[in-house]
Amino acid sequence: MAGQKRILLLGSGFVASPCVEYLARDKNNVVTIGVTKFAIQTYKSDFVACRGIEKAQKLASAFPGVLSASVDVSNEAQLDEAISKCDVVISLIPYTFHAQVIKSAIKYKKHVVTTSYVSPAMMELDQACKDAGIICLNEVGLDPGIDHFYALKTIDEVHSKGGKIISFLSYCGGLPAPEASNNPLGYKFSWSARGVLLALLNNAKYWENGKIVEIQGKELMKSAKPIFIYPGFALVGYPNRDSTSYKERYNIPEAQTILRGTLRYQGFPEFVKALVDIGFLNSENQSILSASNTEPLFWNQLTANLLNSSSTNSSDLLEKVNEKIVTDDAELRSRILAGVKWLGVLSDEIQVKKAGTYLDTLCARLEELMQYGPGERDLVILQHKFQVENADGSMVTKTSTLVDFGIPDGVTSMAKTVGVPCGIATQLVLDGKISRTGVLAPLTPDIYEPIMNTLAGEGVYCVEETLI
């Protein structure tokens, strides 16, 4: 067909469906979904890849004409063959595969879109992408993605009027809606619990009043503090990895404070800190949790082993846990102890699903307990707060705020706010509306403005306010 545009989408995880839905609106698009040893499905001009044929078929069934096949991105010949047949490849698979996807795309001069941060391995391919005349556009999801669009919109507007950004604070969180936050952590998993928990152990680094502040991973939860966005949300925030590079990335060398952080509900950091102090987030292999150890193991036995307790009695174990909790707040201590009991880690009836480490074994338990139930919905909250010095020396505070709810038993807000901007960015690349080549992020108006403006038409946008 003349005018057909063939799209290979690697990965059929939770964000794939909104991305495919957006791209499938254009009947000239042919979409393919595929991942390592996963199925590839073809929506006329679209392919979708995933880890199992059943998952691929389920996703395909939502879009008439979608077929399924398999591709293994770890097999260079298979990957080359799949990419050679498309015009653009969207990589929603783990970021460790992106460089390999880009290398294949360079061979066949095909564009690439990802929602991931630009890694050093990807950036090394920048000149090769330019030489091949291809666009490799990244960071076009929610965070990173929408956060960039609205941060840079305000920063560019302030600079254009001769103003300065004195402070930039940005917090983002994917959460259960308040009515679904019905567990001691106030959190539910829409993807791997392991990734969520590991992020809680990352070191953090940011600018505060002209000085760099560093926080070690084990102390990250202690740094959490209340974040006021709207009175109806009881939120706390803590720093997310390294924010210091955003002086350069966002071109705000004048900023004295720069912090990008994560939002959770109140109580989450304290509970997680208790789990860290107890030792449940230890990622070292344990013989007691080895797959080769076929002896049945119950949670009270595992917790006793972790706490070096000679007793497996739940009351004795709870007292040991109580000794590990560091707080002078009696009510908070009581809530944490109740949460530990809720986890079932003191039970002599719940058998442990051994996963090699305390961290992975706890993840398996959390994923059993903390999934979204029927009729529940999620929530995405993003807010930027800018302290601005205007050209005349006056000071104002500006905010950009996104609050978006998922659809009960339907598309989650997280899937929509990652998948739709990705789909929009891909369509803009296909239509020639984004044309600069190389390994890119949406950090300049020629890239972020058309994505942001189109996204607003999909009902996803930040409310911008100036507070005097």
Catalytic residues: 143
Are the C-beta atoms of 424 and 22 separated by less than 8 Å? yes
Give which of 461, 449, 454, 376 is closest to 417, Cα–Cα.
461
Close Cβ partners of 323 (under 8 Å, ≥ 6 residues apart): none
Give which of 285, 280, 306, 284 is closest to 197, Cα–Cα.
280
The four Cα atoms 367, 370, 376, 377 give a dihedral, to 10 degrees, of: -80
Residue 101 token pair:
């996807």
Beta bridge partners of 347: none
